[in-house]
Amino acid sequence: MLINDRFIAEKVSYRFRNPMAGEIVIFSAPERLQKMAGYGSDQVLIKRLIGTPGDLIAIHNGTVSVNGVVLKETYIKASPDYDCPGMSSKDSSFCQSLAPNNPDSFEVPPGNYFAMGDNRNNSSDSHVWGFLPKSNIIGRAVVRFFPIDRMGGL
């Protein structure tokens, strides 16, 4: 996914099932992101779901782990250059806030998700602003329709 790509979102399936890890979702800006970066509640973003409710997440030494299993992320631009939880996170008050009580990993709370951009080191995502409430998820991205030379399913 690149800046200025355009997608078609499928909005029906989440009425019948919960979002799943690995899906690319379109969502309204969570309240914490609105306060941090001045987004409006009507602004939408797109990110990949990494963690679902109850999952244990850890980001250390350039890898992302879910429930103790390192993700094979062939789709990312570069490995994360931050830890979460961790005090070394340069732009992540969320990861820093987790560090004292969760030295190795943290749990995604009920009704929430952990979403990350594929450009891990330049993405304002859950490692920066925290958990994504399910109520903010609008749908899942299924097709890129612009630019035309990159059109296709996701």
Domains, in order of start, for the chain? 6-153 (2.10.109.10)
| Overall average pLDDT of the 93-106 stretch | 82
Q: Span 10-39, mean pLDDT?
A: 92
* Average pLDDT rounded to a whole number, residues 74-85: 86
In terms of Cβ atoms closer than 10 Å to its own Cβ (0-12, 13-18, 19+), residue 54 is: exposed
pLDDT (mean) for 135-152: 83
Cα separation of 103 and 10, whole Å?
37
**CA–CA separation, 78 and 122 (whole Å):** 10
pLDDT category, 70, cuts 50, 70, 90?
very high
Is the backbone of residue 8 left (phi > 0), alpha (psi -120 to 50) or beta?
beta
Q: What is the pTM of this model?
A: 0.88
pLDDT at position 107, please?
95
